[in-house]
Structure 1
Amino acid sequence: MKKSAKFITTAILTATMLIPAMGVSANGDSVEKANGNEKFRVLVDSANQKELKNAKSQYGVHWDFENEGFTTNMNEKQFEALQKNKNITVEKVPEYSIDETSAEPLAQYSTMAASQSTPWGIKAIYNNSNLTQTSGGAGINIAVLDTGVNVNHADLANNVEQCKDFTLTSSITNGTCTDRQGHGTHVAGSALANGNGGLYGVAPQSDLWAYKVLGDDGSGSSDDIATAIRHVADQASALNTKVVINMSLGSPTESSLITSAVDYAYNKGVLVIAAAGNSGPSQGSIGFPGALKNAVAVAALENVIQNGTHRVADFSSRGYSFYDGDYSIGKYDVEISAPGAAVYSAWYTGGYATLSGTSMASPHAAGLAAKVWAANPSATNVQVRADLQNRAKSYDILSGYGAGYGDDYASGFGFSRVQ
C-alpha cells in the first residue's frame, strides 16, 4: 500500500454545534460574510524578506513557521488584495475537526457504571474477557491533541503532566486546556484512565500531555495543530522523554503545515497515532493527518465477532484495495485496527459517555504504543511502530467491508493487541 489518489470524505461535525459553541449568532455571522469582513486564518510566505517583514507588520503574526511563512487572520478583501502581490504567496489554512460518527454522545452518565470499569475495547485489546484492571505505560507520555481535557477528572487527574492551550492567542497558554466539548476527555480516558474513579484505559501509568488544539465547537485551524505537534517534538527532546501523539481529528484537506510538523516530530523520535476517519466504507476515504506516511492510521472495530474475528465498522475510512497484501505503509493507508464503536470512557463533566468513531480507536492504539514502549524503553519510535504492526499481523481481521486475509485496505495489518 504505497501511493495516493484522489481523497473523498467529509468532515463530520453538525452545524447545530458550531454556531452556539462559537458564541456567534447566525444573523451576525451572515452579516459579516455579506460585508466581506469575516476573518479567517491564512498562511503567508515570500522569498523576499522585506516583503515578508512588511506583511508581518501590516497583518500581525499568529504563528511564525519561519521558512514556511507565518499565519495570520484577515478578511476576504484583504486576502484578495494580497493575492495580487506577485512577491507574496497566500493561502487559506485548512480547518480540522473532531473525528467521531456523531456530534453528540450516544449516552452520558454522571457516575461510573460498575460493569464498565474495563470497557469492551480495553478487554479486547488485552485479549482478556475477565480483565478487571490494566497496567503499564510508566515513563511514557501520551500527548492528546484535541478539544482539551478535564484534568480534574477522577480517572485522569493523577496522570496530568502538561496542560496547554494553542487556540487562544499567538503564544502557548500554559496551565489551561479546558474541555467544554467532551471529545478530548473521552479520548484521554481510553488511552490512560487510571482507575481512581473506576475507569481503566490501556496504559494507566502513562503521563498525559493535554494540548487543546480545537475549539469548543470541535474544530480548529491546522496551524494551531501544527504548532502543537512541533511543540511536542521539542518538549520530547528538551526533556529527553518518549512521547506518543494521539490525534483523533481530521480533514479531507492536507495541510502542508501539519505534514511538515508530523515529519518533524517523527524524525525527532515521536510516534504519531491518528484516526483514519469516518467516511467509510468507500475506498480512498482516509482523512489527514491519518493519511500521512509518518502517522499510524487506525481503523475502528465493532464489538461484534464475525468470521472468527472482530468486524471493521462500516463508518471506518478505507485505503485502496490495489495496495492490499504488500505490508507496506504509504499515503492513504490504514495501518492497524482498534476498538472504536460504542466505546465507554471519561467525559468532560466528570462523568462518562459512550461514543463511536475512529477517534475512539486511535487512543486505544496510542495507549498500547505507550505500554509497549514502557516495556522496551530503549526502543525507537520506528521500532515501536514495527512492534504494533507485528502484533496486528497476529490477529488478522476477516470481517467487515474490505477486510480479508493479510494486509487489507479496511483493517490494515490487523488488530494490534497486548497479547
Structure 2
Amino acid sequence: MHTVKRTRAVVATVATAALAAVALATPASAGLLPSGNTLAPVQPWLASQLSVLKAATPTTVLVHGTDTAAATKAVQAVGLRKVTSFDKVGVVVATGLPAQVQLVRSQPGVTYVEGNQPIEMLLSTSNKATRGDEARNTLTGANGTALDGKGVSVAVIDSGVDPTHPFLQNADGTSAVVKNLKMLCEPLTESTCAPVDAGSLNTDLLSVGGHGMHVNGIVAGRDITLPDGTKMHGAAPGASLVSISTGAVLFIIGADAALNWVLENHAAPCGAGVPASTCPPIKVTSNSYGPTGGGAFDPNSATVKIQRELVKEGVVSVWANGNDGGDGSEDLSNPPGKDPTPGILSVASFYDQDTGTRDGTVSDFSSRGKAGDLSTYPDISAPGESITSSCRIYLPICTTGGDVIDGGNYNTISGTSMATPHISGIVAQLFQANPSATPAQVEAALESTAYKYTDGAAYEAGTNGTTSFDKGHGLVDVVAAANAVR
C-alpha cells in the first residue's frame, strides 16, 4: 500500500485474560460423578474459571464430542442448555452451572470441554516492500487478468465494515464487499451467535469499532488518490470481500461461530444461486484477534478443529501473531496461529521505514516466539507499521493514529492486525495464480521465497527454508511466491 510518512501509533490491545496453565482441581461436583468414569480433559483457561466461579454462576462452554449427536446427548444428560452447534467438528455450545460443566466431562462420547474465552483485536508500507505492485503490474493469474486477487473471496472476521466506503468501491459502482454478515450474539457472553445479512449497512458502526474497516481496506482496497495526491490500494485490489462482523468486544464463541460459517459456506458464500463470477468462493480467512500474552497451542480447541477442516476443504487461515513484543526468552505468539498444519499462517509485523525498503526492521511491538522452539515462531512477515487504510472518523479505533485524512475517511494505524490482511490479500493473489493450489502449497511458496531481511534474530534451519523467532521466514515476496506456486 503506497503511503506518505505519517504519524505512527501502535494500538496493542489483545485479550483481557490470558490462557492460564492451571490444572483442574477435584471438582465441587465430585460426588455427582459416576464412579470409575474417566473425565474428558478440560481447557486450562476454563479450569482456572471453574476453580473460582460460584456454584450458582452460569457459564458458557463448548462441549466436544466424537460427533455432534454424542455431544448433544451428553449436554442433555447433565441438564446443560444447548444453544448452538458446530456440526462439522462435533462441538455443542451450551450453558449451565459449574457442577453441570464438571459432570458433562464424564459422559460417553465427550472428548474435551472448552470455555468461552474473551479475546480482542490485534491492532498496532507496503505493496512496494512486498513486491505486490510489481506482481500486479507484471504477472497474470490463471484467468488471464492482472494478478490482483480477482476471482477469490477473502473472509475477514473482525468488527465489521462499511461496504459503501470509497476505498471499497468498484469502477462500476458496486462494492468489493460481496457478502456483509453481522453475527447477532447474546450480549453478555455471546453464548449463542447467529449470522444476519446486513446488506449495505455499516456493521462497524453497529459494533462501535473501526478495526474491521481498516483491515478490509488493507486486504482489497481499490485504487484511489487521496487529497494530497497519494495513490493507494490494498494488497489484492481485485479480490472480493466477505465481511463477518463479530463486534468490537469478542468472546471465542462469536469468533468460532464466524469461522464455522465459513466452513459451511465457503464454496458459495452468497448462496447456491449466485454465480462465482459475482461472488467467488472463499479461499482464505483473515483473523486479527487473540489473547494477551500468547498462550499454549491447544489442538483440542474448536478454533483449531474448524481451521483444520477448512484446510482440508482448500481454505487457508491467516492469523496475527500478536502485539506483545518480547526478546525470545518466552513464547508470546498467538495460539491458533501456531497450528503446525500446513496452510495455517501466523504473521509478524515488518516496518519499511515509510520508504518501501525491503531491508527494514521487525516492529518492536510484534510478538516473538521462544528462541529454540520453532513451533512458536511466526511464519512470515508483512508490513504492519504505519499503515494507512479506510476508516471513519466517528469510529473509536479510527481516531487512534492521529491522522485525519480526507475528512477522516482514512487513518494510519500499526499492529500485527495490519500485517495479517496484507498476507490474506497476497494469498488471494496466489490462488488466482494457481486455483488448484492446496493450502500447503500456498504456505510453502510464501515461506520458501521470503526475503531474508536481516534485522533482529538470526535465521535457523526450519521447514520450507530458514526461519527466526521474531520474523519467521522473512518478508513476503509476492512475485517470487506467485512464480513458485504455479
TM norm. shorter chain > 0.5: yes
Aligned to 1:172, what secondary structure does the other structure show?
strand
In structure 1, C-alpha distance between the alignment counterparts of 2:358 and 2:245, rounded to whole Å: 39
User: Residue 16 of structure 2 contacts residue 119 of structure 2 at CA under 8 Å; is this kept in 1?
Assistant: no
| Per-residue Cα deviation, 1:41-71 (whole angstroms, up to 9, x for no partner) | 3223575864433557x52414454764411
Is residue 99–residue 358 contact of structure 1 (8 Å, CA) maintained in 2?
A: yes
Residues 1:216 and 2:242 are matched in the alignment: no
Superposed CA offset, 1:377-397 (max 9, x none)? 2322222222211331xx102
- 1:301 Cα shift? 0.7
Match of 1:313 in 2: 363
Greater radius of gyration (CA): 2
Quick check: 1:93 aligned with 2:116?
yes
Give the Cα–Cα distance (whole angstroms) in 1 for the partners of residues 426 and 104 of structure 2. 50
Structure 1 residues 365 and 170, CA, compared in 2 at 3 Å: closer, same or farther? closer
Query: Partner of 1:281 in structure 2?
Result: 326
CA distance in 1, matches of 2:233, 2:78: 50
Q: Name the SS of the counterpart of 2:305 in structure 1.
A: helix
Contact 1:344–1:355 (CA<8 Å) still a contact in 2? yes
- For 1:333, the aligned partner's letter is Y
SS in 2 for 1:162: strand
The CA deviation at 1:208 is: 0.1
Q: Tell me the secondary structure at the aligned position of residue 243 of structure 2.
A: strand
Shift of 1:227: 2.5
Following the alignment from structure 2 to structure 1, what is the Cα–Cα distance between the partners of residues 88 and 315?
A: 22
Structure 1 CA distance for aligned equivalents of residues 383 and 78 of structure 2: 47
- 1:53 pairs with 52, 56, 76, which one? 76
After TM superposition, the structure 1 = structure 2 runs for residues 186-205 of structure 1, keeping only pairs within 5 Å, are 186-196=214-224, 198=226, 199-205=232-238
Change (3 A) 1:195 1:36: farther
Structure 2, unmatched stretches of 5+, are 1-11, 18-51, 138-145, 170-174, 186-191, 227-231, 394-407, 461-465, 480-486
Tell me, what secondary structure is at the counterpart of 2:478? coil
CA gap of 1:53–1:322, structure 2 versus 1, over 3 A, is: same
Q: Aligned residue for 2:432?
A: 374
Aligned length, in residue pairs: 357
Asked if the contact 1:306/1:399 (under 8 Å) is kept, the reply is no
Shifted more, 260-269 versus 120-129: the winner is 120-129
**Letter in structure 2 aligned against 1:318:** R
Distance 2:119 2:435 in 1: 33
Structure 1 pair 39–11 and aligned structure 2 pair: CA distance change class (3 A): farther
SS in 2 for 1:296: strand
Partner of 2:177: 160
Counterpart code for 2:216: A
Distance in 2 (alpha carbons) for counterparts of 1:383 and 1:48: 35
Cα deviation code 1:388-416 (max 9, x no counterpart): 11331xx102013x254742111111111
Structure 2 CA distance, aligned partners of 1:48 and 1:208? 34
Whether the 8 Å CA contact 2:322–2:332 is kept in 1: the answer is yes
1-structure distance, mates of 2:104, 2:347: 42
Does structure 2 conserve the Cα–Cα contact (< 8 Å) formed by 1:397 and 1:411? Answer: no
Normalising by structure 1, we get a TM-score of 0.75
Q: Tell me which residue corresponds to 1:293.
A: 340
Deviation at 1:314, TM superposition (A): 1.8
- The Cα shift of 1:91 comes to 4.2
The match for 1:234 among 236, 256, 264 is: 264
Give the corresponding residue for 1:144.
156
User: In structure 2, the residue corresponding to 1:155 is in which secondary structure?
Assistant: helix
* Alignment of structure 1 residues 307-386 onto 2, 5 Å: 309-323=359-373, 331-349=375-393, 351-386=409-444
Could you tell me the TM-score, scaled by structure 2's length? 0.65
Find the counterpart in structure 2 of residue 264 from structure 1. 309
Residues 234/204 of structure 1: CA separation in 2 closer, same or farther (3 Å cut): same
Look up the match of 1:43: 62
Q: Give the stretch that moved more between structures: 314-323 or 266-275.
A: 314-323
Q: Distance in 2 between matches of 1:338 and 1:307?
A: 12
1:309–1:165 Cα change, 3 Å: same
Contact 2:121 2:289 in 1 (8 A): yes
Q: 1:243, 1:270 within 8 Å by CA — same for their partners in 2?
A: yes
- Does 2:212 match 1:184? yes
> What amino acid does structure 1 have at the position aligned with 2:387?
V
Assess if the C-alpha contact under 8 Å between 2:384 and 2:414 holds in 1. yes
What is the letter of the counterpart of residue 336 of structure 1? I
- Is the CA contact (8 Å cut-off) linking 1:278 and 1:316 kept in structure 2? yes
Letter in 1 for 2:289: L
Looking at structure 1, the residues matched to 101 and 470 of structure 2 have their Cα atoms a distance apart, in angstroms, of 43
Aligned to 1:29: none
CA RMSD between the two structures: 3.4
Identical counterparts, % of pairs:
27
Change over 3 Å in CA distance of 1:293–1:44 after alignment to 2: same
Matched, 1:173 2:179: no
Distance change >3 Å, CA 44–CA 371, structure 1 → 2: closer
User: Measured at CA, do residues 127 and 259 of structure 1 come closer, stay the same or move farther in structure 2, by a change above 3 Å?
Assistant: closer
8 Å Cα contact 1:63/1:223 also seen in 2? no
Q: By how many angstroms is 1:289 displaced?
A: 2.0
AA aligned to 1:309 is D
Gaps of 5+ in 1: 1-9, 16-32, 102-119, 325-330
